[in-house]
Chain A
Amino acid sequence: MTKICLAAPLFKMVLAIFVYCILIIFSFDATAETPQSNQVFNLPVNESNSDTFWQIAKTLNQRRQFQSHFSQEKHIKVLRRPLKSAGTILFSFEHGLCWKTAEPFQSTLSITRQGIFQKKAGGSFQAVAAQQHAVASDITSVFLAVFSGEREVLEQNFMPHLSGTTSQWVIGLKPRSKMIQVFLDAIVLKGNSSITDLEIWEENGDFSLIKFYNQETDVRVFGEEQKECFDF
């Protein structure tokens, strides 16, 4: 773990969460409802737009840490209404990703290289150490590599799609790996200078829509915050 690549914060966040997904699902049958409505999947990244794609990736890569508010709607088929939540996310290249939910209840979810940790307001937490789940740690490292802009690794794991320009874009990612396909159908990212929307389409038809707003890029993670998010 010497030199870890430059990671684009949001990309990393999204993908780190996949790790979480792997840990809690891989056993559910469903007929998939693909996000075909999204036009981006008609536009695979090819010679004509690959420059644009890699330029966007590069821009996102340049931010080592940031903070943002989010609101999320999670659509689970079985449940009669979407689960709505809101809070802030904190990303630090050094430490990892911390997802602090404020509504409807307080909880913290941290995804680090050491594993995935969930904290309740009361202080108790569940942990899944990365070492215990080789798949998880492997995928984490693969994704880290992806965000370093390693084209080969990215192309090996995802089929990228792109519409729009470098100032207003939609990126669609379809997993190539069967391990990821088990639970993930596609990811859609929308943004301009930063990511504004994230859609996660699961293999069983469930999906999450997340909006980001009030982003601050110039943040430092230390003190109480660091303790709360990344010290276990």
Chain B
Amino acid sequence: MSESLEKSKKSVLTFKARGYFTAWLVVVVALALLLIWRVNSGLVIETSILNLLTSPKEGSGISATAIAQSSKFNRQMLFLIGHPDKTDALKASELFATQLNKSQLYESVVYKIGLNKKALREYYSPLGYRPLDPKTRVLLKQEGGIEELLEQNKMILYAPMGGLGTTNLSDDPLLLFPRFLQTLPALPKKTYIADDTLLVSGENKTYAIISANLAGNPFTPDVQASALDHIQTSIRDLQAKYPKGVVLYTGIMRFAADSARRMEKEGTLIGWGSLFCVLVLLVGTFRSIHQLALSALSIGVGLLAAIVFSSLIFSKLHLLALVFGVSLTGICIDYSVHYFAYHCVAGSNWNPQAGMRAVLPGISLGALTSIIGFAGLAFADFPGLQQISVFSSFGIIGAYFTVVCCFPVFLRKPIKERKPIILRIAQRILQAWYRLRPTRILGVVDILGCLFLFALVLHIKVNDDVSLLQKVSEPLLANEKKIRSLTSRSDQSRFFLVQGQSEQEVLERLEILSEKLAKSVAAKDLKSFLSLARFIPSKKQQELDRKLLAEVFLKNRLLFSDYFSELGFAEDTLPRIEKLLTEKPTKLLTPENWSDNTIAAANAVLGIGKTAEGFIALVSLTGIQHEENLMAINNTIPGVSYINIVSEINSMMKGFREQATLLVLASYLFILIVLILRYGLRRGIAVMIPPIFAALIALTALSVFGEKLNVVHIISLLLVLAVGIDYPIFFAEQKKHREETMFVITLCALTTICSFGLMAISKTPILHSFGFMLIVGVLSALLLAPYPLLVFDKESAKDNNNDINP
């Protein structure tokens, strides 16, 4: 009779549970369909770290477009083809360049840079024969300047064998064009041209220099793999033909590929290692793979929800945000473990619904606090933090509902009651806490301990250096150093950025900047700079030059007449030149098609780029000596800013870290309020104490080991807090089964440590300290988890006393 009653009771509940399960199944299928639709409509995954850090709201400082522009630098690859014999070096470079060209991996490959005079002449044809270089411009404005110019011309014309092309001499009797060409920026120091190829000598070899621009994004693994493969094959081909040949090459792509490869290698090791540890832990404890499959299901649905909702909210998902998001979602396994532990301990008394009722309050509040903790990050300005927030929150929701709706259906069979080792460990921890009787000094100890830890934490140093996120291997650094010493390349991370509403405005600003930079070069603040303004005068400048020349000519007509007749120019030279200099030209030189010509390629001068806000150009700098003087130029000209990519990124990292810290603090203040509302002031604070202590201990450990705080640590702290707050909540919500709860917490903590703690073996310093902080933090949270019990017991004792003695 009683048996049949029990059975019918169970079946009614199962029916309800089936309803939840069906609802869950519908949602999961819908999510899966949404995912398929999103992937088909082109889900974009970003890998560039800059896009993660770029704040779209930022008004001052570096803008997204500036970074986009600097990506032109990122695509540059430089090859040095060396051989002890110069002729062979030239032949080998030709072979190599042909191979690069054939591969179609490069947008452009430049190795022949002979200054084709015809092309040069044609390019500058709109300038006629009156381009002015800065020196001549100054000379013409001076008192007696024109006399000086004509004197100099005579010397040039009479100079022994100082030959001048005469066909142009009739149109350019003032020799303005050769003057202009002569003052164009020279080739990089130490390099020279032979057989139209840029060469440099060093270490008993002649190196031919080939520069190439990658067609694809240098941060994408596909581009890296195919380009590096192709380079290796080409080097082998080259060395088969020229055994003494060597190839040196560099470019952002090579660094990016190197760090990606090492991250991947390490990531695989850590990933499989973690999986193995969790497997051993779960299978060892539950003696069944049933639990493992269910854990995978809950995490899988969590990730599914996370990816679908993030991709619906953001147009592009960032890889790094995904990685952190996945890590944070990893704490979802705690909800499954909670349920399994009850199942394990219950033995033959197992009732899936009753079990769920027992764990539901704990995991619900745990999930809620975690979501609140992560949701705060959604208010950040940085897309990276927003994505981590959205991803983790939806991940937790997905995993939580899977446990609640699905587990009672799948985990119906009772198992034999056992006492796994972890249960015994849990009991030991709990017993240790029981020995600490609730005392009056408890609060004082808390406050003192908190102050002490806080004092230690204050000593922690901050380091927002982005290079910590990537570690460059020694051989690559040595290679880069060698190439730099051979070629004296321009500094690619420091440059001037010039913005304007139109191309002409950019050119005008470039001209003003060039004037200032010329002074800086004279003051030895830097060795040289390369600006488009030196090659293409703005329309405004062209008009000013024309007026200046016309004025000078009309004022000194007689002088010109004497000059022409003295040297034996044709009779009609004077009227012809008068017409040429005084008439308005029909066409002006503009920066169109700049990048197509050989001077651009030979000098690696970047043209003007178009952005959403207007036009933009870069001025590259070489041999910066006094950066502060260059920074002083910053913003003295409208639209001109000095950019130091490394320090810009570092300051963005700082903003990222500060905002993350503030939002995490705000979230936890909010969580505290939620806890106080639920448990009352004292108990609420008591529940909050373990995670806060755990976070402080982790920070202290960081400080003790001399590590410097950075944004990745803040994210690991977030994880420590999110995990750490669940443990005391499980206790607070579960007044009866303390041993079981401690067992759950111990198991959860160990799985978390296994999952992320392996990062501590990483060679990338930042991942290493992430893992390290997590181990210390979660272990502390585990050991401190029973703390609220002391307060709860004390409070209930008080309540009981009040009950007895009204």
Partners in one complex: yes
Bound-state CA distance A208–B166 (Å) is 13
| Stretch from B191-199, B238-246, B471-479, B711-719 that touches the partner | B191-199
- Answer whether residue B152 sits at the interface, using C-beta atoms and an 8 A cutoff: yes
**Contact of A76 (CB < 8 Å), options: B155, B169, B175:** B169
Given A21-B163, A99-B160, A79-B181 contact (CB < 8 Å): no
Contact: A24 with B178, CB < 8 Å? yes
Contact: A109 with B160, CB < 8 Å? yes
- Interface size bracket, B side: 35 or more
Contact: A28 with B167, CB < 8 Å? yes
Bound-state CA distance A8–B193 (Å) is 25
| Stretch from B25-33, B117-125, B792-800 that touches the partner | B117-125
Contact: B169 with A78, CB < 8 Å? yes
- Answer whether residue B182 sits at the interface, using C-beta atoms and an 8 A cutoff: yes
Contact: A27 with B178, CB < 8 Å? yes
Contact: A26 with B166, CB < 8 Å? no
- Answer whether residue A156 sits at the interface, using C-beta atoms and an 8 A cutoff: yes
Q: In A58-99, which residues have CB < 8 Å from any B CB?
A: 70, 72, 74, 76-81, 83, 85, 99
Contact: A138 with B193, CB < 8 Å? yes
Chain A hits for B182, CB < 8 A: 23-24, 128
Contact: A78 with B570, CB < 8 Å? yes
Contact: A70 with B160, CB < 8 Å? yes
Q: In A168-218, which residues have CB < 8 Å from any B CB?
A: 177-179, 182-183, 200, 202-206, 208, 210
| Stretch from A36-44, A47-55, A100-108, A219-227 that touches the partner | A100-108
Q: In B124-182, which residues have CB < 8 Å from any A CB?
A: 148, 151-152, 154-170, 175, 177-178, 181-182
Contact: B162 with A20, CB < 8 Å? yes
Residue of chain A at shortest CB distance from B190: A134
- Interface size bracket, A side: 35 or more
Contact: B568 with A80, CB < 8 Å? yes
Chain A hits for B186, CB < 8 A: 132-135
- Answer whether residue A17 sits at the interface, using C-beta atoms and an 8 A cutoff: yes
Least CB distance, B636 to chain A, in whole angstroms: 28
- Answer whether residue A120 sits at the interface, using C-beta atoms and an 8 A cutoff: yes
- Answer whether residue A1 sits at the interface, using C-beta atoms and an 8 A cutoff: no
Interface centre among A20, A79, A109 (most CB of B within 10 A): A79
**Contact of B155 (CB < 8 Å), options: A30, A107, A206, A208:** A107
Chain A hits for B156, CB < 8 A: 24
Bound-state CA distance A134–B570 (Å) is 37
Bound-state CA distance A70–B481 (Å) is 51
Contact: A134 with B188, CB < 8 Å? yes
Contact: B195 with A29, CB < 8 Å? no
Bound-state CA distance A25–B175 (Å) is 10
Least CB distance, B159 to chain A, in whole angstroms: 6
Given A21-B162, A78-B167, A204-B166, A177-B157 contact (CB < 8 Å): no
Chain A hits for B155, CB < 8 A: 107, 109, 118, 120
Residue of chain B at shortest CB distance from A126: B152
Residues 441-485 of B, flagged 1 when their CB comes within 8 A of A and 0 if not, give 000000000000000000000000000000000000000000000
Contact: A182 with B187, CB < 8 Å? no
Least CB distance, B734 to chain A, in whole angstroms: 79
- Answer whether residue B296 sits at the interface, using C-beta atoms and an 8 A cutoff: no
Bound-state CA distance A196–B120 (Å) is 38
Contact: A134 with B187, CB < 8 Å? yes
Chain A hits for B167, CB < 8 A: 28-30, 77-78, 204
Residue of chain A at shortest CB distance from B115: A26
Interface centre among A14, A99, A124, A135 (most CB of B within 10 A): A135
Chain A hits for B118, CB < 8 A: 29
Chain A hits for B115, CB < 8 A: 26, 182
Bound-state CA distance A70–B157 (Å) is 17
Residue of chain A at shortest CB distance from B567: A79
Residue of chain B at shortest CB distance from A105: B154
Chain B hits for A179, CB < 8 A: 114, 193-194, 196
Least CB distance, A145 to chain B, in whole angstroms: 11
- Answer whether residue B597 sits at the interface, using C-beta atoms and an 8 A cutoff: no
Residue of chain B at shortest CB distance from A133: B186
Chain B hits for A85, CB < 8 A: 158, 160
- Answer whether residue B226 sits at the interface, using C-beta atoms and an 8 A cutoff: no
**Contact of B117 (CB < 8 Å), options: A21, A28, A76, A138:** A28
Contact: B165 with A28, CB < 8 Å? yes
Given A80-B570, A204-B167, A17-B161 contact (CB < 8 Å): yes
Chain B hits for A46, CB < 8 A: none
Chain B hits for A18, CB < 8 A: 161
Bound-state CA distance A178–B116 (Å) is 10
Residues 1-28 of A, flagged 1 when their CB comes within 8 A of B and 0 if not, give 0000000000000100110110111111
Chain A hits for B629, CB < 8 A: none
Contact: A134 with B158, CB < 8 Å? no
Contact: B165 with A206, CB < 8 Å? yes
- Answer whether residue B87 sits at the interface, using C-beta atoms and an 8 A cutoff: yes
Least CB distance, A134 to chain B, in whole angstroms: 4
Residue of chain A at shortest CB distance from B182: A23
Chain B hits for A208, CB < 8 A: 160-161, 163
**Contact of B158 (CB < 8 Å), options: A24, A83, A204:** A83
Residue of chain B at shortest CB distance from A107: B155
Contact: A200 with B163, CB < 8 Å? yes
Chain B hits for A80, CB < 8 A: 568-570
Chain A positions within 8 Å of B, measured between CB atoms, are: 14, 17-18, 20-21, 23-30, 70, 72, 74, 76-81, 83, 85, 99, 101, 104-105, 107, 109, 118, 120, 124, 126, 128, 131-135, 137-139, 142, 156, 177-179, 182-183, 200, 202-206, 208, 210
- Can you pick out 22 interface pairs between chain A and chain B where the beta carbons lie within 8 Å of each other? A14-B161, A17-B162, A24-B182, A25-B164, A26-B115, A27-B168, A27-B178, A76-B166, A78-B167, A79-B169, A79-B568, A85-B158, A109-B159, A118-B159, A134-B192, A137-B192, A138-B193, A178-B195, A179-B194, A182-B117, A204-B166, A206-B163
Chain B positions within 8 Å of A, measured between CB atoms, are: 86-87, 114-115, 117-118, 120-121, 148, 151-152, 154-170, 175, 177-178, 181-182, 186-196, 567-570
A29-B118, A99-B159 are known contacts; what are 18 more A-B pairs with Cβ within 8 Å?
A: A25-B164, A26-B181, A27-B120, A27-B121, A29-B117, A76-B169, A80-B568, A105-B158, A118-B155, A124-B148, A134-B191, A134-B192, A138-B192, A178-B195, A179-B114, A182-B117, A204-B167, A206-B165
